[in-house]
Amino acid sequence: MSVAEKPNAATLSYVGFWLRVWANIIDSFLVAIIIYPILFVVYGLDYVTSESFIEGPVDALLNFGFPFVWTMLFWTFKQATPGKMAIGARVVDARTGGKPSTAQFLGRYFAYLLSFVGLLLGYVWVAFDPRKQGWHDKLASTVVVRAARPGPEPVTFTDTRNARTSSRV
């Protein structure tokens, strides 16, 4: 399905807390393997033990600017970061199911800061919300969805000695 198509709600499910945590871990790892080698070249290995919040302009640009640009580009063109793509998820407009506007994406990104406040309560909210929305999703009117997974096939065991079906193990 192209990102421009509006999905059929019956074929989608909301993406819950632990899958979104996993997607975030993937994204964080990918960003880190891009920016940290550059930071080590610029600031040396002492960068890791430095007590400064920001070592300099390259540090600020890579730690704050790069993730913003990375995220906005992936959301704009794919409706998902690589981590969300890895789990088959994408961000959609909560009202229409279509692609969110640039304003929604910007609002969602900056609302991450609000979700972070108070022991990450805005992120943990995903675990308890019926639509699996964090505070950043609610503020930007977005939801994270993926193709619905069909239920598991029932397990049956066939006793080949008597050629009958059994539910015993």
What is the residue extent of each domain of the chain? 9-149
What lies within 8 Å, CB to CB, of 143 at 6+ separation is 14, 91, 92, 94, 131, 132, 133, 137
- 62, 42 contact by CB (below 8 A): no
- Average of per-residue pLDDT across 149-159: 71
Q: What is the DSSP string of 77-118?
A: HHSS-HHHHHTTEEEEETTTSSPPPHHHHHHHHHHHHHHHHH
> Alpha-carbon Rg of the chain, whole angstroms?
21
pLDDT digits (tens, 9 = 90+) for 69-86: 999 999 999 999 999 999
**Structure confidence by residue, pLDDT tens digits, 99-151:** 999 999 999 999 999 998 878 999 999 999 999 999 999 999 999 999 988 77
